[in-house]
A and B are shown apart, each in its own frame.
Chain A
């Protein structure tokens, strides 16, 4: 019995070839964690061509920058193989390892190899604070080599990629700005797992329980323990205190994320696996998990095991055809690994992507004829004007019906999305009957596309929350999955009573030190908690000063006025430092010894907004500036390249405006245009604005052309228009990149980010200057120990602190919450891909921040006034500029005289 079991599981990998950079890897690999390889063959020394910042040293390939490795495979390899690498990443940043792999000089594809994380705990326990609440353990990367095969780029399916190898095949790996080591390249072949054959399980009543919140390893730092209070059966449980008792949930929804647990089996025997899990996050959807035991997927059923939607926790015993699966475990340590993947929804995903693309394409073709708001009184006859529209609609309708049928079978409860799919198919049927309906219901058509995109987005999510895994024998009794009514009542009553004496607002005070600094942070609770743990870990141990951290929402100025303000305030808005500084409420930070050290950490103009008359009132925290986002697929249809200069952008504008296509340029671009012509709002004396000058008039005239001549919108929802493609070029903050990559999966790979268009200088170079925005840190005059406060700022603005803060914040908020630190070194360690980071870093070189001056409030409002006056009401530009610049100049002068007259210090 035992023998037959082994036969089905062990021979998954029949052939492994270690293409070794490593001299004697074999013995070591047999003991490696994966332990799945049956035997190895070492191939004869292959030809290798190493270029760029790569080198081989004692059997390890070091990559420290940009370079490539090309390997010519030796003779005996012929047929379909899989390829993997054994790699180790630079522990100093959080970025994954990007490899561009190409075979036989074909197109290269990008593959991402992740890090491994573990909880930072002492003896495997979650710590508690003085109030008895669990503290979220920090997430740390695990050093050492990791073995992983090449997989589909976004891990959508479980299978490994297959390569057709011939004698002399060329295997080329390119690295761009990477920092990693590779020890081995594996070339191997797997046999797919077989279906489960029922085994006569022997009796026994051993039970092993794994608390899922304490895994051994995980692929992402977002997989930290979380707290569940929906059931009294979730372990550990407390009615009032916070218990981190489950893992996953909405943090474990991206395909490719995995968690693994080690466990100890007390005696040889057959065991079944029961997972107490909950998928209450996506109504009606299934979540898929690939389950590996001891490094391999033992049965076909576990390749994509499905967890059904249910509001409550379920105890899912792994089954095959309705029968429990029994696994043989020998006495000792074993491991189980669960990985999110979307295998079951893969074909639905592909079909939806195709349909959305086609629907969007048709939408754009319609808009090119009718404009985004078609005239209801006009007949457009779209069926004649757009080639093959009838047959294309017909095939979309059939496709939609097919998707609806497939979707119906893939969900496990009634879903409103199903009726919506049918509705959409009926809408298209009506279009086929009468094409005049297309232009009258275009907005309905468009909102249906975005609902379809939401469906696709949801389909790609695989959320699952796990409380525990129970490994038990045939006779052991499983605990009940959920609380009964009486237990729930007691739970609710007790926690209601507890809510009267539990304080949920305190972040942290430090009573051990002699002197303390009051620090206020204007942000969310997550931000404050990260900062608190950073202060405890790396600031207070090395300093004689303690920190009292408070989370505030507003009232900084009022509290300071009342003498109850903080010593240091973080995340302070743009105009506040200069406004408070000139009134004597802040320290001039440039007077401190360590100021020059701090200044060097930032882009050279980052202090502009916080400096007035040579005094520096704040240290930058964040810095955000614009980039250009381009739908490459649509520009290709027009036969155009992403514009590099404003002249090119104007050419694009003129051909776009003829086709009813839009470009998203925010009115704030005026600052950028002024900067590219060597100006900002103010004359160098700061006593006058530039708007009455002839140079500014020329810039403004060009700026006004965008909206007056090309009729581009100035109030718009960039995300949605970029997504459907009616606005294929958008200028927006670089944070837009994360918004789109998270929310618009259907256009993945069809768009890219570029530097903003520049102005060609007489010497032929392109000036890409942009302005920027951001927040900062200040020290108040009420602080008794400014030297200590400045030391805190030196710590806070340093690369390690900013980097850790940014990484931990992204761990909690996900990519859309990526921190835009102003510290250039820390920015490089955040999760930007190499290519994107390079562009942002390049754009940052051109940042020219606009100074803040007393009376600056008058500028923003009057620029708005000029804008409405010249662009909406189409009044004369020169007159308007002159009229409003007089108002601005008067106010600037008045403010400065006033400050002179009533000087405080």
Chain B
């Protein structure tokens, strides 16, 4: 029985592509997103094709609903073998310089992009240690490594996520739980349109292709931090 994969931000973009890729490979999958209509569109399509896909509506940024989100996911699909923290927000757009960024926006960005993933890691890693295996994948960005003006809030939240990923990996060394941070590269998604409205679509990767490459890297045992563009796979 292939491990159950839980993917946040699964209603569109990379998250939806990952949901489809894993489901088509035979994994039970759970998609988490805030907006039920879009999420159910993706999940119901997979279910109509006879695939084991489940929807859990939830907002990873909400600290009070983590236990219910995970509980519902496990009730529907069994213990989580792979967690992919993909859900992210940009914060206020147009992206602001740090000196202009609103307090509320910075808080929201860290809740969604850093603390939400940390809470989900807390909820699934314990069961993984008890079973002796598991994989946690945190979607990062090159904005975590380079310091692009106006990407300060988002970049900082991803840099913090990278740090949590690496520290948790050190803490769980020897337990069989693997951690992976991934820079997926720039993709043709709604999030990218919101951030860079005048980007040339031809320069952006198809999230479906990125999903396939990411799954391949995960299956090959990747750990630590990887950058898919740097792996130089033909697009």
A and B part of one assembly: no
